[in-house]
Homo-oligomer: A and B are copies of this chain.
Amino acid sequence: ESGLNLSGYGRFGIGYLEDRTATTSSTTAGGAVVTNSNETDDAILISRFRLNIDGFTETDGGVRFEGRVRLQADEDSDTGEADSAGLNGARFSVIYGGFRVDAGNVAGSFDNLDDYFGTEPGLEEFLGQYSGVNYSFLEYDSTGSGDNAVFFQYAVGDFAFSASYDQNTIFQGAGATSDRDRWDVGASYTFNNITASLVYGETDEGDGIEKESLTVFTLSAELNDFYGTLFLADDDVADDDENGTAYGFSVAYDLGAATTLQLVYGDGSADSDTRNIGVGAIYDLGAGATLRGAVGEVKDGDEDSRIQADFGVWFNF
């Protein structure tokens, strides 16, 4: 059996960001490039159109091969205008029973862990319990080519294991190159309605460059109308002002048949860590359409905190 699945979603609405600014650059008569920070509209029209193009073949023996390319259009949150749709890098998968291998534009162990993200309030899901994390892990790229990497996953009973490996050649100029290695491993254990997960990853950019790493522990519970996640992380990055622990939690609660309320908090111990606090709501219109909105406060290190909010409709197809 083989075929092509097309699926995706649209979302659009209003987004508000206190003191929204757009950065532009201009060239002076003397040839110098000057960067300008422009005040722009706090409230803009936000939107996303996403289409997943999934080709697949499944052999009689039960081995499934998949290839995915994503088509996506987003608004430009700086200028308030919209961008043309684009295509991303392809991801390929081999799936057999509880075993899965992804290659190409893949998500690593952090990005594949739902409890890393918990519940993210807002039409644009702009608030997260992970806001204090500064490590750059292997992520699926919806609008670019992504990293050409490999991800493994194995699920057996209540356990799930994962690992990823990403290797880059960095061209340093004058014919010199160096290698960047990035890998991660993770494990999850589910007992009744509780899931505990531990993921570790590190990046080695070669001799003379400080190695970076991230450890994340999450604990989530799903009980009737309640879903909640506790998040604890330790990131060791090159910038000392971003080093240290990151912590947070997020909660979703179904209030009656159609409404879900969300609460999120994320912060970190380092001076430059980002704090997220906010609440959101989702109202189900049926048939895969929801109204969504959130209001929150985003604070980068010692800078003034900024209020961010959004509201709109999300429809799956």
Chain A positions within 8 Å of B, measured between CB atoms, are: 1-4, 6-10, 12, 22, 24, 26, 34, 36-41, 44-45, 47-49, 51, 53, 55-61, 63, 65-69, 71, 73, 75, 79-90, 92, 94, 103-105, 144-150, 167-169, 171, 173-177, 285-289, 313, 315-317
Contacts and interface: CB of A to CB of B under 8 A. Distances in A.
A141 to B, nearest CB: 9
A107 B235 CA distance: 48
Nearest to A284: B59
B92 A12 contact: yes
Nearest to A7: B4
A12 B69 CA distance: 14
- Please provide the 9 A-B residue pairs with the shortest distance between their CB atoms, ordered closest to farther: A10-B67, A55-B317, A49-B90, A57-B315, A85-B87, A73-B90, A65-B315, A36-B175, A12-B92
9 contacts: A12-B103, A36-B174, A45-B149, A51-B69, A59-B287, A79-B169, A82-B104, A84-B89, A84-B144
A144 B67 CA distance: 21
A2 B39 contact: no
A60 B168 CA distance: 50
B73 A87 contact: yes
Interface of A is mostly: strand
Given A7-B4, A88-B85, A59 B26 contact: no
A171 B12 CA distance: 25
A73 B57 contact: no
A57 B288 contact: yes
Given A38-B176, A79-B171, 17 more contacts: A1-B287, A8-B55, A10-B55, A12-B104, A34-B174, A51-B53, A51-B55, A53-B71, A55-B317, A59-B286, A61-B286, A67-B315, A79-B169, A80-B169, A81-B145, A82-B145, A82-B146
Contacts of A2: 287-289, 315-317
Contact of A38 (B56, B58, B148, B171): B171
A248 to B, nearest CB: 32
A34 B150 CA distance: 34
B73 A83 contact: no
Contact of A173 (B4, B26, B37, B167): B26
- Most B CB within 10 A of own CB, among A10, A73, A79: A10
Contact of A317 (B8, B56, B80): B56
Given A63-B285, A85-B69, A3 B47 contact: no
A174 B171 CA distance: 35
Contacts of A177: 38-40
Contacts of A84: 86-89, 144-145
A26 B175 CA distance: 10
Contacts of A49: 55, 67-69, 90, 92
Nearest to A58: B287
Contacts of A104: 12, 45, 47, 82
A94 B313 contact: yes
